[in-house]
Amino acid sequence: MYLAAQPGSLQLTQQGQLKHFLTTEGLPKTLLTRILDHTESFLGVENKKVKNAPLLRGKTVMTLFFEDSTRTRTTFELAAQHLSANVMNLNVKHSATSKGESLLDMLHNLEAMSVDMFIVRHPESGAAHFVAQQVKAGVSVINAGDGRHAHPTQALLDMFTIRKTKGAFEPLTIAIVGDIQHSRVARSQIHALNTLGTGEVRVIGPKTLIPHALSQFNVKLYHNLSRGLKDVDVIILLRLQKERMSSDLLPSKHEFYQTYGLTAEKLKLAKPDAIVMHPGPINRGVEIASDVADSDQSVILQQVRYGLATRMAILSMTINTQDKQLFSEEARTS
């Protein structure tokens, strides 16, 4: 596991602008709101005749995925292409790292290719922070998911989906259901929801899938799904992270579905206009019933559509900040 630096000092410039995007933890409400506002301007870009904006023209963006994730990687690549960046994709499984080269050695070699941004997905918590600490000035790092720690761009597209559907966060009661213990998405969502002033954030799940340090997160804990769903405005379901848990944490998928799976009957406990979300990929008959996933209350496909615009907003805000910072440093030393 890589040690993560203080997120605020590493992510932000002295002026409070994005330098890297590694976690939602510690980011101010004004910045999160600005990202959501900026996302609005990129909505529907895939349907326009001219899809590309020149905001990252001449920039090189490299995806470094040490874990498989076709949807996340594809969305980042499309986002960078729509911003007119040059996009490089390193097949890490077939790179020199598999022959013993360290992450730091690989990073320095890639920097020699004049890369302006690294988008990093890694199974170890803190890996993206480590890369951000090591890159030279002017290079940005985006965390596309690290271990159990964070998945900040997924959280922001989820926040945008909620705001687009429900408006202000303050009146809302939002429930996150499922495998909290192993979910980097849940941690990023909770930090963002609290920062944006959500009225009440609930966490629902079995005791074996709830982290011991949950009391630090300013949430209300429920082990009973029916009680936890009572009168909520938003339900966020999480995928069971079977690859990250030992076999004794969960007796069976069937038992989980019976106790914590969202069915049409259980959905009636929430408010009539409640929306259902899932960061994907969904497991029908495990976390959610098919008729709920395909219902009018489900906004799961909207989340996917909003992912492109959200990542375009984050990429453009981060790289352009680095440019401004370098310009200011050069002006001071000239």
- Torsion-angle region of 282 (φ positive above 0: left; ψ -120 to 50: alpha; else: beta): beta
Query: Is 72 annotated in the active site?
Result: yes
Q: Which of 20, 73, 82, 121 is catalytic?
A: 121
Q: What's the CA gap between 236 and 297, in Å, rounded?
A: 12
Query: Is 99 annotated in the active site?
Result: yes
Q: Which of 59, 151, 191, 239 is catalytic?
A: 151
Q: Which of 94, 99, 136, 212 is catalytic?
A: 99
Q: What's the CA gap between 267 and 334, in Å, rounded?
A: 63
Query: Is 71 annotated in the active site?
Result: yes
Q: What angle do CA 132, 214, 186 make, to 5 degrees?
A: 55
Q: Which of 29, 48, 51, 71 is catalytic?
A: 71
Q: List phi, psi (to 5°) of 239.
A: -75, 140
Neighbours of 247 (CB within 10 A): 7
Q: What angle do CA 232, 234, 235 make, to 5 degrees?
A: 95
Contact (CB, 8 A) for 290 and 276: no
Q: What's the CA gap between 311 and 81, in Å, rounded?
A: 11
Q: In what order do the strands lie in the sheet with 117-122?
A: 86-90, 60-65, 117-122, 140-146
Q: What's the CA gap between 49 and 110, in Å, rounded?
A: 34
DSSP conformational letter for 181? T
Catalytic residues: 71-72, 99, 121, 151
